Structure 1
Amino acid sequence: MLTRLKELRDLEGKIVLITGASSGVGKLVAFEMATRGATLVLCARHLTELRKVAQKCKELSQHAAYVVQLDVSDSQMIDQQLIHVLRDIGSVDVLVNSAGFGLFEPFVELDMATVEKMFRVNVLGLMYVTQRIAQQMITVKRGQIFNIASVAGKIATPKSTAYSATKFAVVGFSNALRLELKPLGIQVTTVNPGPVETNFFKTADPSGNYFDRIKLLALSPEKVAHQIVNAVGYKRREINAPLYMELIHRGYELFPNFGDQLASSQLFNRK
């Protein structure tokens, strides 16, 4: 059934829906998809920034780029907006779930309302969007879904309790969904980046201290976006970047006690 997946390697005229498209990795994925001729459906809360992204996408692709105001924490808005997209724009070929946020604080000091919001955005919103788009992909027996998780969904560290919990959930959800959708012609690819130099840290770490400590290790968002777009049309289970983080994760699974010591050491615990 996945033989039709190869058709997505040529993105000319294909419809790509991206959540969190107004900034960060989502925005850069949109630009690279556009350079390859895709028609973009750009979703985010902030219309001003989203319109700027759409304008650049149109210039790059010479195709339409649609702006959809979407708060993925609002399930009713998701239903309403995606009904409009599928009816008036067309079937989505590629879905990139990029919307999300984090906050790095000790768990005992976290506002539980913020934790609930994080789960609504990072997990439940992703699941709502995915279900609606996957239902449509099944009807055409083709599609690819990229769920942007994090290395924090594989290796937990202090002060990332809630954020890691959401990303562990995304990894687990994606792994099960991949098995369900594979026989139906749809590929699910999980993206697990380490720290990426984006506006994510303005919310996650307003002090800026954490990013200052790890900025030499931070990934270029352009590189992550390039890896995602290059995986369209291929049976990629996961994209792990940088690769050494995946090697550390495998070592963590083999030697969990040592992994706990390492994750709480100054080497990894820089928050």
Structure 2
Amino acid sequence: MNLSIPALTRFLIREATVEDQHELASLFHFESYVHRHLDWRTPLDWINHPPFLVAEQKGRLIGALASPVDTPGIAWIQVFAVRSNSRLDAVWSALWKQTLSFHKEYSTRQIAAIPSQPWFGKLLTDSHFTHSHDVVTLIWEGQPLTPPKETADVAIREMHTADLKGVLVVDQESFEPLWQQSEAALLIALKQACIATVAEKAGRIIGYQISTCGHLGGHLARLAVVPDQRGRHIGEALVFDLLSKFIDRSVNRVTVNTQHHNTVSLRLYEKLGFRRTGETFHVFTFTP
């Protein structure tokens, strides 16, 4: 894709290539206007996963926008960046116009973003994105744990690569399309996890959790239980087992995110001693 933009703006829009990696890395690391989606992959990992478009002016890269489709019909804006000496609105408009054309051609059902800075939220609003819901953060800081009711026919064990197809089924049955993960994303998540477990019943994976570790503590990144097994304290058992493992590692600070309207998840986490931090992230969506 190599598209001329009106002379007033004097730049070209084209697909990013591996040859752009150095300039893109500089753009993402040193410029002020940079949006990065919180994801298992880095922005550069999305090169060769269209649409990943760049804006070029006089042979110099001045902006980039990537929103690849990783699960059927769903695209997240993984990165948007503009050089500080360029017109933010003009670069966004040109990149967004061609990005939207791509998604319409390929029948993308929904495009989403979670802006962490007001300037990006304004660009989204001005481009007719809708603030659909919020994601909230909860934290556990070593509160005493009460063991959940026993589920004698369910075993919790370490997750292995061979489990991913079963984990993918759980993921697809548990989450609405916007929040589902691809098998490739789950593999990357597993590789980055410090604790990943599955709940298994009669050889069938019926639940899982994936958590990461950092210098500030642990983070429960993913938790799911298949609908036909809910109400049996399996999610509670997975989180209890996870927190017990963190305690064994002397980790007494664990965070988790969930949708503000997911009352089932909120009750589960609060029952186990998590409390809301007050941190909220707005989710914006657009239907092409």
With the length of structure 2 as denominator, give the TM-score of the two structures. Answer: 0.26
**Which one has a larger percent helix, Structure 1 or Structure 2?**
1
State which structure, 1 or 2, has the greater radius of gyration over its C-alpha atoms: 2
TM-score (norm 1): 0.27
